[in-house]
């Protein structure tokens, strides 16, 4: 089993309790470089340091991810492997690309992710500002998704977004709380509780 664990924006004390427990319990821990190694140092002294280069050379990136997948695979097959990622595993991270390689080359390996404090939410606290209302978050590439918070009428909201070309929708109600529910495009309810988030993708 492979668990990708978000380890926050840089402060070892901003790891979640769940992240620390997994890091301490894992048979093997992998980190993408020395910055991540230093962040988890209070909780684990023996991580395997992997190289995930920051480059625009897509072929080189793909080769490195395939090499790292081959290193991770044995531990994930035999026990609990934890892959520590700065910020949040599924928010502008390398985990998605690693999963694509695992699906293709090691389909027998199950994987999941544990969220962490992302740089985006940490930024507001570090900068001493409060964010409310609509904001745009992008890495400079073409916008292909939007997220709406506190969606009380998800089906109606999805119908409006379809007019702008959005086609895929995922609604999450009460995430990580009692009563959590995840709905796909064709399952959206008419109404949702206050703790609801709607993802729309093109």
Residues 27 and 113 grouped into a single domain: yes
Residues 103 and 188 grouped into a single domain: no
What is the value of pTM for the model shown?
A: 0.89
Alpha-carbon torsion, ordered 68, 73, 74, 76, to 10 deg: 120
Its domain, for residue 25, covers 2-121
Residues 97 and 149 grouped into a single domain: no
Which of 121, 155, 190 finishes a domain?
Answer: 121
- 127 in Cβ contact with 168 (< 8 Å): no
Question: Mean pLDDT, to the nearest integer, of 29-38?
Answer: 96
Instruction: Give the tokens for residue 122.
Output: 């940490």
* pLDDT at residue 135, as a whole number: 87
* pLDDT at residue 161, as a whole number: 96
* pLDDT at residue 93, as a whole number: 81
* pLDDT at residue 56, as a whole number: 75
Return d(Cα 75, Cα 181) in angstroms, integer. Answer: 32
Contacts of 140 (CB under 8 A, 6+ apart): none
* pLDDT at residue 96, as a whole number: 92
Instruction: Give the tokens for residue 56.
Output: 């625009």
Give me the DSSP letters along 132-150: -S-----SSSPP-EEEEES
Residues 109 and 12 grouped into a single domain: yes
* pLDDT at residue 146, as a whole number: 94
* pLDDT at residue 125, as a whole number: 95
Residues 18 and 111 grouped into a single domain: yes
* pLDDT at residue 69, as a whole number: 97
- CATH number at 58 reads 3.40.1010.10
pLDDT in tens, 68-93: 999 999 999 999 999 999 999 999 88
* pLDDT at residue 10, as a whole number: 96
Cα angle 76-181-7, degrees, rounded to a multiple of 5? 40
Question: Mean pLDDT, to the nearest integer, of 22-27?
Answer: 98
Residue 176 reports pLDDT greater than 90: yes
Q: Predicted confidence band at 53 (pLDDT cuts at 50, 70, 90)?
A: confident
Which of 86, 121, 156 finishes a domain?
Answer: 121
Q: Output the average pLDDT for the chain.
A: 94
- Is residue 157 domain-resident? yes
* pLDDT at residue 143, as a whole number: 78
pLDDT in tens, 101-160: 999 999 999 999 999 999 999 999 999 999 888 888 888 888 789 999 999 999 999 999
Domain count, the chain: 2
Give me the DSSP letters along 66-133: HHHHHHHHHHHHHS-EEEEESB-TTSSSSHHHHHHHHHHH-TT--EEEE----HHHHHHHHHT----S
* pLDDT at residue 167, as a whole number: 96
The two counts, helices (H) then strands (E), for the chain are 6, 9
Residues 59 and 151 grouped into a single domain: no
């Amino acid at each position: 089993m492979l668990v990708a664990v978000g380890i926050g924006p840089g402060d070892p004390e901003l790891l979640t309790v769940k992240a620390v427990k997994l890091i301490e319990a894992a048979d093997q821990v992998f980190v993408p470089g020395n910055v991540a190694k230093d962040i988890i140092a209070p909780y684990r002294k023996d991580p395997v340091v992997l190289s995930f280069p920051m480059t625009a050379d897509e072929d080189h990136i793909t080769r490195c991810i395939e090499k790292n997948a081959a290193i991770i695979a044995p531990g994930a097959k035999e026990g609990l492997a934890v892959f520590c990622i700065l910020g949040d595993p599924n928010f502008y991270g390398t985990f998605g690309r690693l999963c694509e390689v695992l699906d293709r080359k090691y389909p027998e390996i199950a994987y999941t992710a544990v969220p962490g404090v992302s740089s985006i939410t940490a930024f507001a606290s570090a900068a001493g500002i409060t964010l409310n209302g609509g904001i745009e978050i992008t890495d400079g590439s073409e916008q292909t998704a939007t997220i709406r918070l506190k969606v009380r009428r998800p089906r109606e909201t999805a119908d409006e977004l379809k007019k702008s070309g959005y086609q895929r929708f995922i609604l999450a109600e009460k995430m990580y709380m009692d009563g959590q529910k995840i709905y796909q495009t064709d399952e959206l309810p008419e109404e949702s509780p206050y703790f609801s988030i709607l993802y729309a993708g093109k």
